[in-house]
Amino acid sequence: ETAELGSYKHFMEKEIFEQRKAIENAIRGRLSDDQSTAVLNGLNITANELRSIDRILLCACGTAWHACLVAEYLIERYARIPVEVEYASEFRYRNPPLDKNTLVFVISQSGETIDTLEALRESKRKGFKTLAITNVVGSTIARESDGGLYQYSGKEIGVASTKAFTSQIIIMLLVALYLGRMRDLSFADGKEIVSAIKALPDLIDETLKQADVVRKIAKKYSKFPDFLFLGRLEEYPIALEGALKLKEISYIHAEGYPAAEMKHGPIALVCPECPAVIFANQGEIFQKVISNAKEIGARKGPVILITDSPDEIESGLADDVIAIPKAHDAVRTIIDTIPIQLLAYYIAVERGCDVDKPRNLAKSVTVE
């Protein structure tokens, strides 16, 4: 194991830093020659079949479920197909009504998670086309689905998923782009998304350069008992993922919330011992998120801002700022994810936790 780690202390750290490579592997050979759409042969489904789809059901567990939530925004925005996201474990027992033109998509890094596998089997029993995104080649889910896309992220050893998550997002963006271009996404918009995808690897490197800044912030807050993670739109699932990462490896209680919902409950938690990590990036809702941050500051809650516009943050608003590069909306969640992974990682190290093998958790849950 030590040899494989190279200069890294833990697999989780190594896997966070491998995200450029994982993203490059996920997109290799999957962009069209005219750079306007994706080429997804593995889906094993005809263009006509895809055109008749009028609803998509996404099913997964844990971190992969968060990737489904991001995918919901991407598919609805670019392909304009209604998407529903289900916990695989709930889907099996809830028996939701499914329209005949529904496409079922499951996401599983290991391809062995029992609840996800059973959700896939149940969809197949009902006669639906099922597609899967998995990282492990030849895994049960990969074998049993009608088609799908491999992530090619390389082996993920750390129990807390990192590079597999961002790779799942980029693959779902390719799916959104592909479905969008079959419907009303224009050639120009398709090209814009492809260039955003191609720019991503360099942006990942740039974001990883913030590791030392994040490490210092982690040291400052490592003893705090509660954290809030707040984001809006597709950054809400990243807030959920930030909270999950912290819970998983640092054993600190954390909640992810849509920033504007904060005033309907979580604001009661705000106090000097409960820092809030907030995504405040340029766009329609930038000012709205900034006012949420002010509300927290006014109640003496420490504010850690993750932002692509550090120069526009008035002094005194944030206790700490993590600057990230400006990224296209289509890929921004991937950039947002890196600081929250690093934050959880460095806090866990600071607390002396067993980062790669957190208590009570398994890399793949194969019993119900």
Least distance from ligand G6P to the Cβ atom of residue 217, Å: 24
Where does this chain touch ligand G6P (CB under 6 A) — which range of 156-164, 188-196, 214-222, 289-297? 156-164
Residues 6+ apart with CB under 8 A from 14: 5, 6, 8, 158
Mark whether 219 is an active-site residue. Answer: no
Instruction: Check binding of 157 to ligand G6P (CB under 6 A).
Output: no
As beta bridge partners, residue 131 has 105, 147
Where does this chain touch ligand G6P (CB under 6 A) — which range of 10-18, 45-53, 75-83, 154-162? 154-162
Site string for ligand G6P, 272-311 (x = CB under 6 A): ----------------------------------------
> Where are the extended beta strands (E) located within the chain?
55-60, 83-87, 102-108, 130-134, 147-150, 226-231, 253-258, 276-280, 303-307, 320-323
**261: number of CA atoms within 13 Å, CB side?**
12
Encode 57-113 in three state secondary structure: EEEECHHHHHHHHHHHHHHHHHCCCCEEEEEHHHHHHHCCCCCCCEEEEEEECCCCC
Count of residues of this chain found to bind ligand G6P when the rule CB under 6 A is applied = 16
Where does this chain touch ligand G6P (CB under 6 A) — which range of 103-111, 205-213, 290-298, 323-331? 103-111
Question: CA-CA distance, 83 to 105, in Å (whole number)?
Answer: 10
Q: Which of 265, 67, 50 is nearest to 168 (CA)?
A: 67
Instruction: Check binding of 137 to ligand G6P (CB under 6 A).
Output: no
Question: CA-CA distance, 90 to 96, in Å (whole number)?
Answer: 10
- Of 304-343, which residues contact ligand G6P (CB under 6 A)? none
**Residue choice 74, 81, 142, 159 for contact with ligand G6P (CB under 6 A):** 159
Structure tokens at 77: 């925005």
Instruction: Check binding of 63 to ligand G6P (CB under 6 A).
Output: yes
**CB nearer to ligand G6P: pick between 296 and 343:** 343
Instruction: Check binding of 160 to ligand G6P (CB under 6 A).
Output: yes
> What are the residue numbers of the active site?
363
Residues at the site binding ligand G6P, with contacts judged by CB under 6 A: 61-64, 108-110, 113, 116, 159-161, 361, 363-365
